[in-house]
Amino acid sequence: TAREPVVTVALDPERASGALVDDVRRGLGSQPRSLSPTWLYDDVGSELFDEITRLPEYYPTERERAILRDHAADIVRACDATTVVELGSGTSDKTRTLLDAFTALGSVERFVPVDVSEQTLRDAAARLSERYPSLQVEALVGDFTLHLGHLPRGGRRLVAFLGGTIGNFYVEERAAFLGALHDSLEPGDWFLLGTDLVKSADRLIAAYDDSRGVTAAFVTNCLHVLNRELGADFDIDAFSYIPFWDPRQERMDLRLRADMPQRVTIPGAGLEFDLAHGEEIRVEISTKFRLESLRDELAAAGFAVERTWTDDADDFALTLAQR
């Protein structure tokens, strides 16, 4: 019979709402205005992101799944971890591809999904315990930029950070994240990283500007979150979604543009400001990688690349590195 999942809450809700307030003050209180993509993932946002992963234009999910499907056994053999950690696990079904291989071929004993959404995590933990009765599921409700120090210790650990989410970080945030991950691991522990790769601007823009407008709804959802959580009065219909490819920084840059001037009041953050006509709020970046510079960045953080796998079209990469 399945062992009961253990759920540890590192993220205290009070601090989380404090982080929202801090981010809003810092990001919206000065120009150019920005918001952190963290706030995109409330229940509605998580649902919309799930829908994005099923869009024909949004290739990363399918490509990463193909790599996992074709190479999960290689990954298991290369690291033979006893603890598998997944950062930002969400509802993810790609986890299953990985765990199927680990439970069939390896000596995995424990799975540690980490996510900011407590309900999503509790549901996932219960489902995974059912599906893998031999596995101890120890879920961690936490933010992977803050709570890596709370990862359970012991055994050979593999930390998986999939989906290309690392692309949401700015260069300096990425270095800080990799440094913190390095500090939270022991020598010999493993890191499995999913990254989207540089490709033609056409395909990238199509992936972030789908014809059904799901991505636009996903990005715009952050304004609904601020209206609800902080009592803000964004006139949401008066914004357009502006995704563009920044070829110098090699990243998608996703913004909301005010179609008319408006005064915004955000009581929960003690903030009031005027948005000019055409003024933009940057909500998310999605960096695309090249394998060479990725290897250098990992090395700079103290990780040695063991192997890299890509899909047939070289759209996406999975990199296995060791601390």
Q: Which is nearer to ligand AVJ, 129 or 165 (CB)?
A: 165
Window 290-309: contact mask with ligand AVJ (x via CB under 6 A): --------------------
* Of residues 1-60, those binding ligand AVJ (CB under 6 A): 52, 60
Which of these ranges, 73-81, 120-128, 164-172, 313-321, lies near ligand AVJ under the rule CB under 6 A?
Answer: 164-172
Q: Which is nearer to ligand AVJ, 71 or 288 (CB)?
A: 288
Separation of alpha carbons 64 and 311, rounded Å = 7
What is the token pair recorded at 85? 């950690």
How crowded is the C-beta side of 104, counted as CA atoms within 13 Å?
10
Phi-psi region of 314 (alpha: psi -120 to 50; beta: other; left: phi over 0): left
CB of 225 to ligand AVJ, least distance (A): 15
* Of residues 253-282, those binding ligand AVJ (CB under 6 A): none
195 contributes a contact to ligand AVJ by CB under 6 A = no
Calculate helix-pair angle for 118-131, 94-105, nearest 10 degrees.
40
CB-based closest residue to ligand AVJ: 286
SS (H, E, C) 1-64: CCCCCEEEECCCHHHHHHHHHHHHHHHHCCCCEECCHHHHCCHHHHHHHHHHHCCCCCCHHHHH
- In one-letter notation, the amino acid at residue 296 is D
92 contributes a contact to ligand AVJ by CB under 6 A = no
Q: Which is nearer to ligand AVJ, 138 or 196 (CB)?
A: 196
163 contributes a contact to ligand AVJ by CB under 6 A = yes
215 contributes a contact to ligand AVJ by CB under 6 A = yes
Residue written as token pair 């009765």: 133
Q: Which is nearer to ligand AVJ, 49 or 303 (CB)?
A: 49
89 contributes a contact to ligand AVJ by CB under 6 A = no
Q: What 3-state class would DSSP assign to 67?
A: helix
310 contributes a contact to ligand AVJ by CB under 6 A = no
Give the containing element (helix H, strand E) for 33: strand 33-34
61 contributes a contact to ligand AVJ by CB under 6 A = no
Contact present, 202 and 247 (Cβ < 8 Å): no
90 contributes a contact to ligand AVJ by CB under 6 A = no
With 0-12 / 13-18 / 19 or more C-beta atoms within 10 angstroms meaning exposed / middle / buried, residue 277 is: exposed
CB of 130 to ligand AVJ, least distance (A): 26
Say whether the peptide bond before residue 187 is cis (omega within 30 degrees of 0).
Answer: no
167 contributes a contact to ligand AVJ by CB under 6 A = yes
Question: Which residues of the chain form contacts with ligand AVJ (CB under 6 A)?
Answer: 52, 60, 163-165, 167-168, 208, 215, 218, 284, 286
